[in-house]
Amino acid sequence: MSVKRRKYGTGHAYYVDTQKVPGVTTVLRETLPKSGLTDWAARKAADEAIDYWDELAALRPSQRHDRLHHAYRRDRDSAGRRGTEIHRIAGMQVQGENPVVPEELEGHVESYRDFLDTIEPVPLLGGVELVVASRTHRYCGTADLVADLPPVVIDLEYIPACRWLLELKSTRSGIWPESALQASAYVNAEVFVDPEHPDDERPMEWLKIRRCGVVWIRSDAWELRPVDTGPSTFEYFTHLRWLYDRADTIGSWIGGSAAPGPAELEPA
């Protein structure tokens, strides 16, 4: 019996008792509605055309089409690499290390440092990049940070000192509801492990997490926002998990097309 996260290139995969299971972010990415992404992709193509008009005009039509068609992918991949690096550096910072910071990320790193200095979270031992798993719903995930926070006031609400599960987000567009679904899946998992000791499971109840939140790290500031991870939020996630397993069956809903038979078999 074990829960493992294995690295593959720049990504990773999860295994529970030798069986591969999806990660929480994969479930959300594959099942949540993406109407906002459609508009974003169209805007990226339009931006590419306007910003590089003369350069594109010098290309062959097929090359021009390729540049515009894949503009959103280049932006997405760049943002993904930036987010991954910010997470890596933030994990080192919260453990008291002083990592080398690329110039283009200095603003984000300084914002997170200000969060640490202002709030002074105390990370749980092994609470950075904590791997969690649910055997009931067959998923895993990696929580960014489990830490004890002092009393805080957010939107005039006094929240006493307690243990939080925190997700770090560096998206330019802000915090989306899927952050609550993500945190809900993590905090409602059944067991957790230290990635260095995957066979040493502990029940999630041992962590005594009382609140969940998101730290939005921008290049010029940070925000701490609580998220709702209660029963209704988790129920929504479990429905998405159910849909994820059935996505491949959609193609079977439509039967094959009927072709006319040989002339000699046609009815008289």
Amino acid at 91: G
Q: Read off the pTM.
A: 0.81
Q: E strands within the chain?
A: 3-8, 11-16, 19-21, 122-134, 139-149, 152-154, 157-159, 162-169, 191-194, 197-203, 211-217, 222-226
- pLDDT one-digit tens code per residue, 67-84: 988 887 786 666 667 667
Tokens of 209: 């997490």
- Other residues' Cβ atoms within 10 Å of the Cβ of residue 125: 8
Helices (H) and strands (E) in the chain, counts: 8, 12
Quick check: 59 pLDDT over 60?
yes
Quick check: 255 pLDDT over 80?
no
CATH code at 16-247 = 3.90.320
Taking the C-alpha atoms of residue 268 and residue 259, their distance in angstroms, rounded to an integer, is 18
Tokens of 265: 């078999």
